[in-house]
Amino acid sequence: MTLNALFDGAGKPAEAAAYEREVEAETIRLRRDFHRHPETMFGVDRTAAEVAKQLIAYGLEVEQGVGKHFGKGVVATLRGSRPGRTVLLRADMDALPIQEQNEAPYRSASDGVMHACGHDAHMAMLLGAANMLSRYRGELAGTVKFAFQPAEEGALPIEDGSMVSGGRDMIEDGLLDDVDLCFALHVWPELPLGTVGVHRAYAMAASTHFRVAFQGVSGHHGTPHLAVDALLMAAQFVTEMKVAMASEINPLEPGVLSFGTLRAGTALNAIAENSEITGSYRVFEEETVLRVRDAIVRRSSAIAASFGGGSEARFRLGTALKNDPRAAQLALTAGTAVFGAERALALEQPSLAGEDFALYLKKVPGAFAFLGSGTPACKQPLHHPNFDIDERMLLAGAKLHVRFVLEAMASNDVQER
């Protein structure tokens, strides 16, 4: 049996069908284990250890502790029998600080944490692909790298004050130094199960995370003139930034700014000495990313000064996810091989959601695909406490990764670095 036999449709050999059932059962088991034991941001020690264990079992070269600053990534290398391109496939490992409301037997065992964005499925599908590709490595002309990254959902500060995500951490550790093409996918409930969608250019917005802290002077509610109200500064900042988005950004360019958290004060009858507000904004052009950043710094500083207080702003600047058009065509060809031509969709409208994989595509040609996961039973959006997937998609996602590799290794359409 050859690797291509897995894509023969209804006429595939019995051996291939049996092997598919074996891989599918394994991906379901892994996905449920990851779902039951979610971990957030860079705190993915258990998850990374399980991923590494599986990759080692497949006979791959495995490097743990990848990342210049936090060192929590896992990278496995598979060398084919002949020289050729190096293709990287990526999955994200981190969950979200959300309390799960599902009652499935594999529901999260950690209070306040769940895989509400499908990263459990992403890991299981990429491990399934590693399983299949390692079994048929003799058919490969080139090298495959399997990257499992932490902290796709956010970033943490380092010594210089900048915010570092998992993708940046691994890229700065040399992850992409020898890579010619890269691919990733994301489960997407807005598309029906059994489809894949790929954009030929912009796919997702530059999602910038910001954190603004105000410093004031605490005081009694009966003597507000002797205090500097940090909570009031934060409240005014909310209004000012909504005005900025309406008046300083080109109205023909998509863009949105929203706030996520506000922390201030320690007592009901005391004026808050400190406040902190966090949020994100999503635009597409790099110039606009910087324009909104400057507006946040300028307006928070002016508000603080007008109250007689201080302010500090920190950012994880976003990068828009833009597919290489030729790599996007390879991804669509791969989707056709897995799902059929009518279910491999060239998407036009980009999403205002953000994705850390944008940093990969800024360095190396590649494409990001949306794997349809929408069914009547699994219709909740990403980041919802009832989010779940139909596990029938896991084998298809693993095969899509495999096909990314086969198309990339066979094609000369995409210029290597």
Phi and psi of 193, rounded to 5°?
-55, 140
- Of 72, 78, 177, 64, the closest CA to residue 126 belongs to 78
Considering the candidates 152, 169, 173, 273, report the single residue annotated as catalytic. 152
CA dihedral 369, 130, 386, 112 (to 10 degrees): -120
> Is 119 labelled as part of a ligand binding site?
yes
Residue 153 per-residue DSSP state: S
Tell me how far apart the alpha carbons of residues 231 and 216 are, in angstroms, rounded to a whole number: 9
Mapped onto helix, strand or coil, the DSSP state of residue 350 is: coil
Contact, 257 vs 248, CB < 8 A? no
Which tokens belong to 131? Answer: 């399983």
Residue 168 Cα to chain centre, angstroms: 12
- Of 23, 234, 251, the closest CA to residue 133 belongs to 23
Radius of gyration of the chain (CA): 23
Considering the candidates 26, 94, 356, 388, report the single residue annotated as catalytic. 94
Tell me how far apart the alpha carbons of residues 275 and 241 are, in angstroms, rounded to a whole number: 16
Listed in sequence order, the residues at least 6 apart from 309 whose beta carbon sits closer than 8 Å to its beta carbon are 214, 215, 216, 217, 228, 230, 233
State how far the alpha carbon of 313 is from the alpha carbons of 18, 161, 256, 304, in Å.
Answer: 56, 10, 19, 12
* Sign of the torsion angle spanned by Cα atoms 14, 15, 20, 23: positive
Mapped onto helix, strand or coil, the DSSP state of residue 307 is: helix
The number of residues in the chain equals 417
> Is 117 labelled as part of a ligand binding site?
yes
- Annotation says 152 is catalytic: yes
- Annotation says 240 is catalytic: no
Tell me how far apart the alpha carbons of residues 358 and 237 are, in angstroms, rounded to a whole number: 29
* Binding site as annotated, residues: 117, 119, 153, 186, 383
Active-site amino acid positions: 94, 152
Which residue numbers belong to the known binding site for Mn(2+)? 117, 119, 153, 186, 383
